[in-house]
Amino acid sequence: MRGVVMHAPGDVRVEDRPDARIEEPTDAVIRVTQACICGSDLWPYRGLEPVKDAPMGHEYVGVVEQIGDAVTQVKVGDLVVGSFVASDNTCPICRAGYQSRCVHQVMMGVIGTQAEHARIPLADGTLVPVPGTPTEAQARSLLAASDVLGTGWFAAVAAEAGPGKTVAVVGDGAVGLCGILAAKQLGADRIIAMSRHADRQALARTFGATDIVEERGEAGIARVKELTDGLGAHSTVEAVGNQLSMDQAIGVTRPGGHVGFVGVSHDVQLQGENLFFSSVHLHGGPAPVRRFLPDLIDLIMTDKIDPGVVFDLTLPLDRAAEGYRAMDERRATKVLLTI
């Protein structure tokens, strides 16, 4: 089968990979209908994470083609969405809502879903069938649910976004934008998007942002405080994962407020004394997207949300390398790969 392989930083190729097949009785094999390139795929692409000959991709929508003998909850022919972490959905960690840290977790990035087919471990716990036949727009949004929407949603929930709250969102990539959409759906009064890119600011407003702050660092913190009677936001979504964004997220949050951090952390250090006197709640990590998938699929299939507009470039799988370049050069926010 054809699939994306990253041989080294900056070296992405589409080539023949071993066919996906059932390896465990709990596996399914899907024909991937849509995959995409994630902001987190840019870390190895830019040489900020080690990479060698790695299959790529962890987001997917597809049709079940084969199931193992122990699979009972999905059947051949089902259109399915799953998260970027395969999970049994039955262990105590899953039952508590943290499927991304399932005791049997398998990171889908290791399997690589930017490919014609993918093996899905723990299919019963991982895959959620989609009712009906999605329109093209709904199909795009289902793909977004696989990671960026689910991750933005978790960040907003972790930040306790809701009625009466002012939410600040640090990061204007696909996850940050979906965090804005989530905060709006969760009923936030005011949503401050921190962004300096005109096209992303426009999308942020479409998703529900009420204010835009272009400043960063201390100036950004000062501006958010100015907008919030000197107090800071109640709830902050951190969707980048570096020192500047984490410091900014904690800095714009008022004492007693909540930070939901979902940017994959790279060399972030928290200074104890600053953290101590910030008096904020910190909750984050790899988003348990599986917790939210049934509700997100319902919101998408009833046209209540349209997160799929974060995809601003669509390419066939064979041109994936172009997609990586476009995201690396910030010419695209999020690239959808058709298969």
Binding site for Zn ion (CB under 5 A): 87-88, 91, 94, 102
Query: Please, what is the minimum distance in Å from the beta carbon of residue 255 to Zn ion?
Result: 35
Query: Please, what is the minimum distance in Å from the beta carbon of residue 217 to Zn ion?
Result: 40
Q: Which is nearer to Zn ion, 99 or 141 (CB)?
A: 99
Q: Which is nearer to Zn ion, 150 or 241 (CB)?
A: 150
Identify the H or E element spanning 235: strand 233-238
Query: Please, what is the minimum distance in Å from the beta carbon of residue 90 to Zn ion?
Result: 6
Of 36, 35, 37, 39, the closest CA to residue 49 belongs to 39
C-alpha of 272 from chain center:
29
Q: Which residue has the tokens 């919101």?
A: 299
Q: Which is nearer to Zn ion, 165 or 291 (CB)?
A: 291
Query: Please, what is the minimum distance in Å from the beta carbon of residue 147 to Zn ion?
Result: 18
Query: Please, what is the minimum distance in Å from the beta carbon of residue 127 to Zn ion?
Result: 14
The CA distances from residue 50 to 41, 94, 105, 239, 282, in Å, are 11, 30, 22, 22, 28
Query: Please, what is the minimum distance in Å from the beta carbon of residue 102 to Zn ion?
Result: 3
SS3 assignment, position 173: coil
Query: Please, what is the minimum distance in Å from the beta carbon of residue 124 to Zn ion?
Result: 11
Paired residues of 332 in beta bridges: none
Q: Which is nearer to Zn ion, 94 or 227 (CB)?
A: 94
Q: Which is nearer to Zn ion, 54 or 91 (CB)?
A: 91
The CA distances from residue 123 to 88, 140, 307, 317, in Å, are 8, 22, 25, 24
Render the burial of 242-265: b for 16+ CB within 10 Å, e for the rest: beebbbbbbbbbbeebbbbbbbbb
Q: Which residue has the tokens 């009625």?
A: 163
Q: Which is nearer to Zn ion, 92 or 163 (CB)?
A: 92
List the structure tokens of 187: 């009923």
List the structure tokens of 164: 């009466």
Q: Which is nearer to Zn ion, 41 or 124 (CB)?
A: 124
The CA distances from residue 227 to 81, 188, 247, 259, 335, in Å, are 39, 15, 19, 18, 34
